[in-house]
Chain A
């Protein structure tokens, strides 16, 4: 899908309006709410879930990411700067031994990609990776 400059501007304007109304970074709180919903408010640890994403993405349309969390039953991924922060939820079946997967995602601008894993023992793990999204040289 192609985001034209006009569409990006529209998204940007929406962001500015939301921020000025609440005085808070609107998308971050949406993401926090969604994470809280996934974890049920439980404590979230780190270390057992790895999230790989490029430091700089050449194009926000196709950003490769990989999640790996041995012992996880599900991993959900968010992009806190996207108009809709939810990205995907991976539910692992018994035959996926490594509990890992790769995909390609869209990022509307530079932001954090956040993965939260639900482990077999009911605990939660989290990993954040900031990704810078570049804009093209001549209008895209």
Chain B
């Protein structure tokens, strides 16, 4: 597992049924592009988060394929419709096989 990886997500605590909400996510990650060389001229191997998904109660909201051109500490903002109360699940997939997960529940008023 890459060192110091920490996900952050921002989801409103509640919404009206059928309301569209804005979600923001950020994860600490170097996103080493594979294009750089170290001081000795050796290529630094690529090491990035290559996929990010957000699901709500098992249904997909967004599924992103990331390339090395995504900035350090990958950030995503997107909308989601909230049909009922439930749980958002966020998953990040690392090149090294690590999977980082976090979830947030939302109530419907």
Contacts and interface: CB of A to CB of B under 8 A. Distances in A.
Interface in B59-85: 59-72, 74-81, 83
A100 B61 CA distance: 11
B56 A88 contact: no
Given A98-B79, A100-B78, A93 B61 contact: yes
Nearest to A61: B71
A83 B79 contact: no
B35 interface: yes
A94 to B, nearest CB: 6
**SS class, residues of chain A in contact with chain B:** mixed
A86 interface: yes
Nearest to B63: A91
A3 B76 CA distance: 23
B60 A95 contact: yes
A17 interface: no
B69 A102 contact: no
Interface residues of A, number: 33
A82 B76 CA distance: 21
Interface in A56-84: 61-63, 79, 82-84
Contacts of A102: 75-78
A88 B69 contact: yes
Contact of B61 (A62, A82, A96, A104): A96
Given A102-B76, A106-B69, 16 more contacts: A79-B69, A84-B33, A88-B65, A88-B66, A88-B67, A88-B69, A88-B70, A89-B65, A92-B61, A95-B59, A96-B80, A97-B20, A97-B79, A102-B77, A103-B76, A104-B75
Interface of B: 20, 30-33, 35-37, 55-56, 59-72, 74-81, 83
12 contacts: A1-B31, A11-B35, A87-B69, A88-B67, A91-B63, A93-B61, A94-B60, A96-B81, A100-B79, A101-B77, A103-B71, A104-B74
Interface of A: 1, 3, 7, 10-11, 61-63, 79, 82-84, 86-98, 100-107
